């Protein structure tokens, strides 16, 4: 939850309850290491309880990034694919919002494919992200990020994906 949202809630000026993502996203951060095959309950709750496209796409992307990082590449791909479909569950009349959300999802997907040296997949999702830049300012941070990622994807060398493993513990909150 953002600091300003937290402050307004504490002051009693916020009129909305925390979203599913806000109330569950940090729940597992201080947990002990988990096996890669264990279920991440907090993020699944966020995915199941979302009431809007923004929270759902954020939760799906977060879980996808995590799955890629711990070697669950197929699961991560499935989650990114679901993130591309959030507007079937939560229709949105703003074509620009939908386009930019898809740009962000495809860009993140390309980065994670590059991380696991899946060069063909990285090229596919980078090209898809490029397709969502029409009408977006060339000075936009995501467009700039795409431009910086392009030569890395072009130079990608196929290699082994990260192995499944245990997630490290995070230091205790201070």
Q: Bin 137: left if φ > 0, else alpha if -120 < ψ < 50, else beta.
A: beta
* Domain residue limits at 89: 40-154
Question: Quick check: is 45 in a domain?
Answer: yes
| Residue 7: inside a domain | no
Which is nearest to 104 in space by CA: 135, 145, 69? Answer: 145
Task: Give me the number of domains the chain comprises.
Answer: 1
Per-residue model confidence as pLDDT tens digits over 97-143: 999 999 999 999 999 999 999 999 999 999 999 999 999 999 999 99
pLDDT in tens, 45-102: 888 889 999 999 999 999 999 999 999 999 999 999 999 999 999 999 999 999 999 9
């Amino acid at each position: 939850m953002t600091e300003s949202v937290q402050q307004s809630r504490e002051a009693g000026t916020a009129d909305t309850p925390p979203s599913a993502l806000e109330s569950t996203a940090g729940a597992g951060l201080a947990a002990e290491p988990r096996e890669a095959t264990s279920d991440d309950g907090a993020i699944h709750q966020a995915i199941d309880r979302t009431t809007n496209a923004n929270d759902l796409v954020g939760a799906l992307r977060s879980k996808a990034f995590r799955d890629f990082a711990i070697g669950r590449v197929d699961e991560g791909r499935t989650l990114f694919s679901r993130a591309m479909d959030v507007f079937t569950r939560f229709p949105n009349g703003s074509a620009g919002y939908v386009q930019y959300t898809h740009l962000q999802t495809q860009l993140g997907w390309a980065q994670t494919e590059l991380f696991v040296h899946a060069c063909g997949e990285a090229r596919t999702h980078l090209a898809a992200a490029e397709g969502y830049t029409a009408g977006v300012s060339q000075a936009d941070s995501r467009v700039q990020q795409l431009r910086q990622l392009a030569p890395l994807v072009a130079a990608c060398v196929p290699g082994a994906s990260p192995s499944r493993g245990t997630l490290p513990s995070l230091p205790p909150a201070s």
